[in-house]
Chains A and B, each alone.
Chain A
Amino acid sequence: MKRLNLIAGAAVLAAPFSLQAELDVEKEDLKFGFIKLTDCAPIVMAKELGYFEEEGLYVELEAQANWKVLLDRVISGELDGAHMLAGQPIAATIGFGTEAHIITPYSLDLNGNGITVSNELWETMQAADPVLDSPQPPHPISADSLKDFALERRQAGEPLRMGMVFPVSTHNYELRYWLAASEISPGFYFDPETGTIDRTGQLNADVLLSVTPPPQMPATLASKTIDGYCVGEPWNQQAILRGIGVPVTTNYDIWKNNPEKVFGMTKGWADAHPNTAIAVTKALIRAGKWLDASPENRLEAVKILSRSEYVGADEEVLRNSMTGTFMFQKTDVREMPDFNVFFRYHASYPFYSDAIWFLTQMSRWGQISEPKPDAWYFDVAKKVYRPDIYRKAATLLIEEGYLTEAEVPETDGFKEPTGDFIDGIVYDGRKPNGYIEKFDVGLKPQSSVAATN
C-alpha cells in the first residue's frame, strides 16, 4: 500500500524536476591545480558560483608550488587539469622541457602582467631619462633608459638580474621583448654558430634572466637577489604597496590584448573524457563571462580570491588590477579597464594565431633551435589549441541561453595582423617565419648568424 502511494507521488514529481540537460560526464570528481595569481579567477569562480556543479562536476582546487610542479602533476595524472602559462602546453607538446601532449580548449585571460624594477634601478632609470622623474611620467616606459646602465653593469662583470616565472612563460617572452625592443640582449637558449645549447637562456646576455615562482617575486626583489621582474598580478601591486619596487610597464603596453594563461589538460585525459572536457569548458566560459559582466562581479571575485586557499593576498592589493586600475607609483594610479580581460574581445577563445606567436618567440630566442617551415607552426598550433572543444561547449551554452551567438567569434583561428606592440612590429600569425625575420635582436630562421651584439 505504501509503495502505491510512493509511486503516485512520483508521477506528480516527475515533470517539474527533470534535470537541466546535463552532459553525460565520464568523470565527476575532478582536481584542478592553480598558481596563486589573479588570472586563476575563471577556474575559482566556476567553482564558487556553482557552474561546475551545474555541469555535474565536483571540483577540488589545489594551489601548486610552482609551474614545473603543476605541469608534472598534470602529466602524472594527479591533476585533471590546470591553470597554465600559454607557453606551457605548446612547449610540452614540442618537447621543450618536460615532453607531453597537452591541449587547451580555453584561454583564461588577456594581459595582466607587469614589469617591476627595484627602487634603486628606478632611480637609475630616472637619472638616465629625466622625463621619468615625475609623479606621472608619460607611458609607455621603454627600457631605453636602462640600456646604458645594463651594458655598464655587464662590462663590470656584474650584469643586472631579472626574474621571470618560467622559461616558456609569457613573462619570459614579454620581458625579453621589452628589453630587446631597446636593444638590450636578454640572452639566448641556443647559439647557431657554435651549436651551444644553454637551458638557462643566458648566452650572450646583457641582462641575466632567471626563474622565480610568482609569489616569491617580491621577497626575492626585496632581498636584492634580482633587480627587477616580470610577473602577473597581484605581485606587481604588492611591490609598490609594500614599497619594495616600482612597476614600470605592463604587458598591455608591450602587446595590447596579448593572450596570457590557458586551461590545460593532457590529450590523453581529454580523449578519455571527451564530455567532461566539454562540461569543464562550459563552466569556464560562463565564469569568464560573469567576471567581465560588471564591476560588482569583479569586486565579489576579489573578495573570494583573497581567501587564503585561493590567491590569498589582501583584498586591497587584488582590487587594484582586478577592478581596472593599476598603481605604477603611489602618485600614479591609472585607469586600465583592459588590464585583466577574461571574456571581452573573445578573450576566452583559443586562437591558433596566439599559439603561433609563442612559437615564434621560442624560435627567436633559440628554444626551438632548428629552422621550421610555416606549416610546422600551423600544425603545432592545431595540435595544442582545440577550438573544436570550445565550440561544442559554446553551442550547448547558446542552446541553454547562457551565451549569445555574437559572443562566439566567427574565425578560422587567425586574428587579423596587428602592430599593437611596443616597437610597432606587425604580427601576422599566417606568416610566422616572416615575422621572426623582422626582429633586430633575435635568431633568424634561415640564417646561421648569431644575434646582434
Chain B
Amino acid sequence: MNNLRKLFAFLKAIRLGFLVPVIQLCRGEDPKLQMRLIAQQIVLPLAAIILGLLLWQSLASKINTNLGTFPGPTETWQAYESLQEEARVEALKEKHFNHKQLSRMVRRGGVDSEVGIWLVEDEGVAPEVVTWLAENRPPTRFNEADYAAFLEPVAGEPEPVSEARDMDYVNGLYLAAGKAFKGSETVKVRDYGGKPTYGEQIRKSLWTVFTGFVIASLVAIPIGILCGLNKSIYSALNPFIQVGKPVSPLAWLPLVTLVVVALYEPTEEGLEISFIVSALVVALCSLWPTLVNTAVGVANTDPDHLNVARVLKLSWFSRLFKIILPGSLPLMFTGLRISLGVGWMVLIAAEMLAQNPGLGKFVWDMFQNGSSETLSLIVVACLTIGLIGFFLDTIMGALQTLVSFEEKHSS
C-alpha cells in the first residue's frame, strides 16, 4: 500500500498523475469515482486538444499573410515531415562525404598508405577493398541516385569488393579511422560540415541552455546563501538584484558579445563565440529567480531548528550543511525551476541574435527565407520549443517534489 502511494506520488511529480485513476480502476477501487476522474483528467483534456486542433485548422485558413495562408495542423505536420526528409538526405550526404574522405586518404598511397595499412592490418579489410577505395572515387557532387549507382556491384569483381560496396560499411570504416587517427599529424580525419539538421539544432539549444543554467546556478546559489545568512549583505546587493532582474536579454546581448569578442580568442577546437554569448546571456537573465529564492529560503530557516542546533552546539559548517541548506532546498529548487524556464525563453532570442545554430537561429533563418514553407516550419519550431519547455519544467518539477518529500521525512 505504501509502495503504491509512493508510485502515485511519483507519477504525479512527473505529470503522469492522470494514470492514477486508471491504475485504481484496474485494481477495482471505487470504479465510479475513478471513472469520473478519468473523464476529468484524460477525456476532457483530449477533447480539448482535438477541439483546439479543429479550431486551429478552421481559423488558420482565414488568415492570409503575404506568404500564403496561415498553416493549419496538416501543413504543420507536412513541414515536420519535410524536416525529417531533410535529415535523412543529410545523413546520406554525410556518408557520401565520409566515403570521399576515406577514398582520398588511401588514394595517396593505396594499400601502402598509412590508412591503407591500418585498414588491412588492424581492421582486417581485404587489400582488394583498399585498392577499390583508392581507385574509385565516389562522384564529387552528392546526388542520391548517382551515389546509389556508384555503389552498384560490377560483374566479375572480387567478392570482398562487392561486399564492401555498402555505404554503411564504408561509413563505419571512416568513423573507425576517426577514432584510430585522432590527433595524428599525418592523417587528418574531419567531420562532415553539412548543414545542421533539426535534431542537431535542438541538441545545440539544449546544450546551450544547460550551460547557461549551470553558470547561473553556480553564481546564484552561493550569493543567494550569503544574502540569506546575512541581512546586511542582502540589503547591499538588493539594488543590483532589483535593477538586474528586469533587463531584457536583447539588451544584454550586444554588451556580452563585445566583451566576449574582446576577451576570448576562438581556436579551431574551442567553443564558438556565438555559443558562449548565448550561454552567458541565458545565465545573466536566469540567475535572478534562483538567487532570490535561495536567499529567501535560507533566511526563513525554522527558528526551532536553529535553536536545536544551538543546543547541540553544532559548528557553523554543520549548521549550514545540516540545518540551513536542507531546509531551504524546496525554495531553492522552486527558484531553479523558474530560472530554467526563463533561460529557455531567453535562449531563443539570444540564439536569433548571436547566430548560435540552435532553434532560435532556425526560426530566424526560416523567417528570412520568406518561402511558402516558412510559416509552417516556424509553427513546428514553436511547438518544439513549447514541448521542450514543458519537458524541462517537468524534470525540474519532479526534482522539486523529490526534495520537498525529503523535507517531510526529515521533519
Contacts and interface: CB of A to CB of B under 8 A. Distances in A.
B100 interface: yes
Given A65-B352, A238-B370, A13 B188 contact: no
Interface string B350-379: 001101010000001111111111100100
Most A C-beta atoms less than 10 A away, residue of B127, B193, B367: B193
Nearest to A314: B371
A306 interface: yes
Contact of A58 (B131, B193, B367): B193
B134 interface: yes
A163 B370 CA distance: 18
A369 B177 CA distance: 59
A312 B127 CA distance: 45
Interface in A53-70: 53-54, 58-60, 62-65, 69
Nearest to B258: A72
Contact of A63 (B190, B257, B368): B368
A215 B109 CA distance: 49
Contacts of A60: 193
B120 to A, nearest CB: 7
A6 B111 contact: yes
A78 interface: yes
Contacts of B370: 215, 218-219, 235, 238, 312-313
Interface in A309-365: 309, 311-314, 317
A78 B111 contact: no
Contacts of A243: 66
A333 B165 CA distance: 50
Contacts of A77: 265-266
Interface in B237-259: 257
B193 A17 contact: no
B161 to A, nearest CB: 14
Chain A interface category by residue count: 35 or more
Contact of B110 (A13, A19, A54): A13
A338 B111 CA distance: 51
B14 interface: no
A53 B127 CA distance: 27
B268 interface: yes
A424 B18 CA distance: 78
Interface string B159-176: 000000000000000000
Given A215-B367, A311-B369, A17 B107 contact: yes
Contact of A9 (B112, B141, B265, B368): B112
Contacts, number: 123
B140 interface: yes
A14 interface: yes
Contact of B188 (A28, A49, A63): A28
A399 interface: no
A28 B190 CA distance: 10
Nearest to B368: A215
A306 B195 CA distance: 14
B190 A29 contact: yes
B369 A19 contact: no
A63 B195 CA distance: 10
Contacts of A6: 111-112, 116-117, 120, 127
A36 B66 contact: no
A43 B112 CA distance: 36
A222 B120 CA distance: 64
A49 B374 CA distance: 27
A69 B134 contact: no
A36 B372 contact: no
A78 B265 CA distance: 9
B263 to A, nearest CB: 11
A312 B272 CA distance: 25
A13 B132 CA distance: 11
Instruction: Report whether over half of chain B's contact residues are helix, strand or loop; otherwise say mixed.
Output: helix
Nearest to B137: A17
B135 interface: yes
B261 A76 contact: yes
B111 A314 contact: no
A76 B288 CA distance: 31
B366 A312 contact: yes
Contact of A5 (B127, B265, B366, B369): B127
B273 interface: yes
Nearest to A214: B368
Given A9-B131, A218-B66, A311-B369, A17 B140 contact: no
A9 B111 contact: yes
Given A6-B112, A14-B109, A306 B266 contact: no
A313 B371 contact: yes
B355 A69 contact: yes
A242 interface: yes
A31 to B, nearest CB: 8
B67 interface: yes
A50 interface: yes
A9 B127 contact: yes
Given A9-B131, A54-B140, A77-B266, A308 B369 contact: yes
A12 B274 CA distance: 49
Nearest to A243: B66
A218 B369 CA distance: 11
Interface string A1-26: 01001110110111011010000000
A62 B364 CA distance: 13
A19 B110 CA distance: 12
B108 A17 contact: yes
A177 to B, nearest CB: 27
Contact of A10 (B111, B140, B365, B377): B111
A142 to B, nearest CB: 28
Interface in B258-282: 261, 265-266, 268, 272-274
Given A63-B365, A215-B370, A312-B370, A53 B100 contact: yes
B110 A308 contact: no
A308 B190 contact: no
A53 B374 CA distance: 31
A58 B127 contact: no
A309 B195 CA distance: 7
A64 B357 CA distance: 11
A48 interface: yes
Interface string A25-44: 00011000000100000000
24 contacts: A2-B121, A13-B112, A14-B110, A16-B135, A17-B108, A17-B135, A29-B193, A49-B141, A58-B190, A60-B193, A62-B357, A63-B368, A65-B355, A69-B355, A73-B273, A215-B367, A215-B369, A216-B368, A218-B66, A244-B66, A306-B371, A308-B86, A308-B377, A309-B195
Interface of B: 66-67, 86, 100, 107-113, 116-117, 120-121, 127, 131, 134-135, 140-141, 188, 190, 193, 195, 257, 261, 265-266, 268, 272-274, 352-353, 355, 357, 364-374, 377
Given A2-B121, A54-B140, A76-B273, 13 more contacts: A10-B110, A14-B110, A50-B141, A64-B355, A73-B273, A73-B355, A77-B265, A77-B266, A78-B272, A218-B66, A219-B66, A312-B374, A314-B371
Interface of A: 2, 5-7, 9-10, 12-14, 16-17, 19, 28-29, 36, 48-50, 53-54, 58-60, 62-65, 69, 72-73, 76-78, 213, 215-216, 218-219, 222, 235, 238, 242-244, 306, 308-309, 311-314, 317
User: Which 10 pairs show the lowest CB-CB distances between chains A and B?
Assistant: A312-B369, A13-B110, A10-B112, A50-B140, A215-B368, A309-B195, A60-B193, A242-B66, A9-B111, A6-B111
